Amino acid sequence: MVTNVVTVDAGVNLRKAVERMNNHEIGCLVVLEKGSFVGMLTERDVLKRVVVKARNPDETLVGDVMSKPLVVVEPEASLEEAAKLMFERRIKKLPVIKNKEIVGLVTMTDIARIHPEMVEYIKSLAAKYDLPKRMEKVIHYYVV
């Protein structure tokens, strides 16, 4: 997992959030509201919910277009548990939370690329679930 996770407040407008992603050269931000983790803003959220709908990024708030609820895992979870949760919830990014603090972010790409011993397990999960195209691409590129 990566340990330098960047967050954003749900009340921030999209322009500022995207600038933050660009400045950090990342594709997602974990969203906070009143000190609690409530969602995730991804590049895909911006494309599908802002760009395609021609919403004004200065007037659209992160909380209005983020993916929610936030699905998380604890650091003690195994890679198999994390991968299964990603398949079940049809997500590619999974924040790691301990004692209400974010300690990392694991992605399907990280698991497939860095842990080759997980390849067979990921293949078996992929065969069981109806995956969105965004996940299929990761599986076919890194696993198959």
Q: For 1-45, how does the pLDDT look when each residue is reduced to its tens digit (9 = 90+)?
A: 899 999 999 999 999 999 999 999 999 999 999 999 999 999 999
Q: Both 59 and 19 in a single domain?
A: yes
**Gap between the Cα atoms of 91 and 75, Å rounded:** 18
Q: Both 63 and 76 in a single domain?
A: no
| Spatial CA neighbour of 82 closest among 91, 25, 46 | 91
Which residue carries 């494309």 as its tokens?
47
Write down which residue in 70, 96, 112 finishes a domain: 70
The whole-model pTM stands at 0.81
Which residue range(s) make up the domain with 133?
A: 72-144
Contact between 36 and 13 (Cβ < 8 Å): no
The DSSP H or E segment spanning 30 is strand 28-33
